[in-house]
């Protein structure tokens, strides 16, 4: 019986044209050790932001934009090559991914710190010389994965960074808070990762509030940093470890030094010594 099952399993693999290690080999791609924008240096001099991340769209009943739209002016964007922002593995590639609104490619990126994100490139098309990469294939930073397609209302690239949905093109807009739903600000993500992969980088702090710090961190006597993260006051060491955190009862604007003591400045004007 066991012999019969083994023969059947081998026949199945042969019938499907796959060896036992093919899928494993296809999924092993180089880590994302550097990040860049999806256009080359020459293109970036003319590319501009057409619609920002998380902004409501009048064309889509006020829903929030899940990515950023880039274009270089009417009549000059169509056919612009689009580059992978980092090394990764293709999890989705379909020239009709968004139907009339063009093709979509999704790439999985695994960073050295274990972070996994997906970059989505929408409103693209293929040409005779540029084809979408195959699903499960590895792509390299800067590799051309398609060109900007002829889509509504004008040719542009829709770029997303998301934490889930490796094989789902997604809606492009959402009624819910896009950050809470797992999307991230593409340009901010790229710039941050460029800083983190720089040889001079030693450590960084990850904030819960996507808006960022309301004020500069306050250095204290032991070389640690006190800073506000939304309604949370935190103290972190010089190497990025958070020593303690306190949830505040009211919105705060800044933490400053007053009379030699760290002091919280609240939105209503009150001040509290830490």
61-101: per-residue pLDDT in tens? 899 999 999 998 777 899 999 999 999 999 999 999 999 99
- Give the start-to-end residue ranges of the domains of the chain: 25-195, 202-273
Backbone dihedral angles phi then psi of residue 169, each to the nearest 5 degrees: -60, -30
DSSP sequence for the chain:
-HHHHHHHHHHHHHHHT--TTHHHHHH----------SS-HHHHTT-EEEE-TT-B-GGGTTPEESSEEEE-STTTSTT-EEE-SSSEEEEEEETTTTGGG-EEEEEEEE-TTS-EEEEEEEEEE--SS--PPPTT-EE-TT-EEEEE---SSS--EEEEEESS-TT----SEESS-TTTTTEE-HHHHHHHHHHHTSTT-------S-TT--SS--EE-TTS-EEEEETTEEEEE-TTS-EEEEEE-SS-EEEEEEETTEEEEEETTS-EEE-
pTM above 0.85, yes or no: no
Q: 10 pLDDT band (50/70/90 cuts)?
A: very low
Q: What is the mean pLDDT of residues 187-197?
A: 92
Q: 262 pLDDT band (50/70/90 cuts)?
A: very high
CATH topology for the 25-195 domain: Glucose Permease (Domain IIA) (2.70.70)
Lowest-pLDDT range of 141-155, 230-244, 253-267:
230-244
Nearest CA to 265 out of 226, 210, 238, 212 is that of: 226
CB 267 within 8 A of CB 245: no
pLDDT at 246 over 90: yes
Q: What is the mean pLDDT of residues 245-273?
A: 93
- 77-86 pLDDT, tens digit each: 999 999 999 9
More confident residue, 5 or 243: 243
Q: 213 pLDDT band (50/70/90 cuts)?
A: confident
Q: How many residues does the chain have?
A: 274
pLDDT at 56: 93
CATH class of 202-273: mainly beta
pLDDT at 145: 98
Q: What angle do CA 123, 128, 130 make, to 5 degrees?
A: 55
């Amino acid at each position: 019986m066991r012999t019969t099952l083994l023969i059947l399993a081998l026949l199945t693999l042969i019938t499907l044209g796959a060896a036992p290690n093919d899928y494993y080999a296809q999924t092993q791609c180089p880590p994302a050790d550097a990040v860049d924008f999806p256009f080359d240096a020459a293109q970036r001099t003319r590319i501009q932001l057409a619609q920002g991340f998380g902004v409501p769209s009048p064309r889509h009943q006020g829903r929030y934009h899940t990515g950023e739209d880039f274009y270089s002016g009417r009549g000059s964007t169509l056919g612009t090559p689009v580059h992978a922002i980092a090394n990764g593995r293709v999890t989705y590639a379909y020239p009709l991914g968004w139907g009339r609104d063009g093709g979509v490619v999704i790439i999985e990126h695994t960073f050295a710190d274990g972070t996994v994100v997906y970059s989505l490139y929408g409103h693209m098309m293929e040409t005779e010389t540029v084809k979408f990469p195959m699903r499960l294939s590895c792509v390299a930073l800067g590799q051309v994965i398609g060109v900007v397609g002829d889509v509504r209302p004008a040719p542009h690239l829709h770029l997303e960074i998301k934490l889930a949905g490796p094989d789902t093109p997604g809606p492009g807009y959402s009624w819910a808070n896009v950050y809470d739903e797992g999307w991230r600000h593409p340009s901010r993500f790229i710039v941050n990762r460029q800083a983190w992969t720089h040889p001079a980088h030693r450590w960084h702090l990850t904030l819960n509030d996507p808006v960022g710090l309301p004020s500069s961190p306050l250095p204290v006597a032991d070389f640690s940093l006190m800073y506000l993260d939304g309604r949370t006051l935190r103290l972190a060491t010089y190497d990025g470890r958070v020593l303690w955190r306190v949830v505040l009862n009211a919105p705060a604007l800044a933490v400053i030094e007053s009379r030699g003591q760290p002091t919280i400045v609240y939105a209503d004007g009150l001040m509290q010594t830490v």
